[in-house]
Amino acid sequence: MSRILPWSWPAAAAENPVNDVLYFDYAATTPVDERVIAQMIDCLGKDGTFGNPASRSHAFGQHARERVEQARRQVAELVGAVPAQIVWTSGATESNNLALKGVARARGDKKGHILSSLLEHKAVLDTLKQLEGEGFAVTYLAPDDKGAITLDAVRAALREDSFLVSLMLVNNELGTVTDVAAIGRLVRERGALFHVDAAQATGKVPIDLRVLEVDLMSFSAHKTYGPKGIGALYVGTRALGQVQAQIHGGGHEQGLRSGTLATHQIVGMGEAFALAKAQGESERVRIAALRDRLLDALKGLPILVNGVSAPRVPHTLSLTPYWDVSLGDELAISSTSACNSASNAPSHVLLALGLRPAEALRSLRLSFGRFTTEQEIDRAATLIRNALLQSVP
């Protein structure tokens, strides 16, 4: 539910078909790539791979199982994991829940301390709130003045009883990138487990779990041109046996996540991640050029770019105009993450960065992707420029 500003449905639909609306909200979700759709459709009908992957006794199940395992290899390959370390879930929200609750609750009465940050996605923050209610202590690190969670901040906040650290790799509002390599080394030295939410990172930054000291990593398909409702949790060697299942019933996925595997969703995620591996890097270069083209066109206007001095991906741009602008309905963007939009609250990420509530509320998140064109960038720049100049207070 992202806030399309201002959005009136269905009244505006007749004179303003969605095809005329510029989509600049790839960080909320991406369209499914046609190549992914083709693979998914192939798993649905009576002549397709519709069998239950858990059916061991016949060819229908066997074929479905083969495609599920192929997808598991594709996901593992993008991130440098071993296929057996990939556990299918319904999305990054569930992966985050499984990682955090799974590790915390497996400790029984021991409780202890979890370290995370104010910049996390609600799927992490709300889960940690839940765990606080169950008696766990949680510290939420604030970012530095650049918008980054630093190694020093983690070092200073780790406690004797810290058993888990959870930080995101790429921030969904700012596009900033956390140094999980350095932080992972520290966390491992201190003997805690390290969970990383990588929902916004796949296809945007290289991920190699063979060298990263990360124990648990969450993925989502629909931020990377796959379908909604499917994701995965990487469970590394050190985390194995330390994660308690949160969904029971049948013992699928090594007992970590029961439920009939959604073959079409899984196959879609596999194909999406294979495409990300094949073209993520060239896509990043193209999108960086588009982002720079937009910034060039906005040069000289009274707009601040948030998180500009931290390492970041070019796919997501957070802007704060000096005054409120009304963009009309031709530009589909968010003022915050899709989840905050639903409640109309100012972005907790921008507040953590030091913005005032009014500044956070008038901020614009533009996110670009595989299907963004130069023409769309130019139109968006014109729309923003005009809206800003027309609303000079």
**Residues binding ligand PLP (CB under 6 A):** 91-93, 121, 123, 168, 172, 197, 199-200, 220, 222-223, 231
Of residues 3 and 121, the one with the C-beta less far from ligand PLP: 121
- Phi, psi torsion values for 249, nearest 5 degrees: 135, 80
My answer on whether omega of the bond before 10 falls inside 30° of 0, hence cis, is yes
Strand order in the sheet with 364-367: 303-305, 316-321, 364-367
Q: Which residue has the tokens 């029984």?
A: 108
Of residues 85 and 172, the one with the C-beta less far from ligand PLP: 172
Of residues 180 and 199, the one with the C-beta less far from ligand PLP: 199
Would you say the C-alpha torsion 75, 79, 84, 85 has a positive or negative sign? negative
Q: Which residue is nearest to ligand PLP (CB)?
A: 91
The minimum distance between CB 141 and ligand PLP, in angstroms, equals 16
Q: Which residue has the tokens 């005329």?
A: 20
Distance CA 161, CA 324 (A): 46
Say which residues have a Cβ less than 8 Å from residue 296's Cβ, sequence separation at least 6: none
Active site residue 43: no
The minimum distance between CB 278 and ligand PLP, in angstroms, equals 22
The minimum distance between CB 219 and ligand PLP, in angstroms, equals 8
Of residues 2 and 85, the one with the C-beta less far from ligand PLP: 2
Of residues 215 and 329, the one with the C-beta less far from ligand PLP: 215
Of residues 121 and 204, the one with the C-beta less far from ligand PLP: 121
The minimum distance between CB 241 and ligand PLP, in angstroms, equals 25
Tokens of residue 277, six digits: 């591996």
Of residues 63 and 204, the one with the C-beta less far from ligand PLP: 204
The minimum distance between CB 220 and ligand PLP, in angstroms, equals 3
The minimum distance between CB 4 and ligand PLP, in angstroms, equals 17
The minimum distance between CB 231 and ligand PLP, in angstroms, equals 5
Q: Which residue in the list 170, 183, 339, 352 is annotated as catalytic?
A: 339
Of residues 135 and 206, the one with the C-beta less far from ligand PLP: 206
The minimum distance between CB 385 and ligand PLP, in angstroms, equals 29
CB 176 within 8 A of CB 311: yes
Catalytic residues: 339
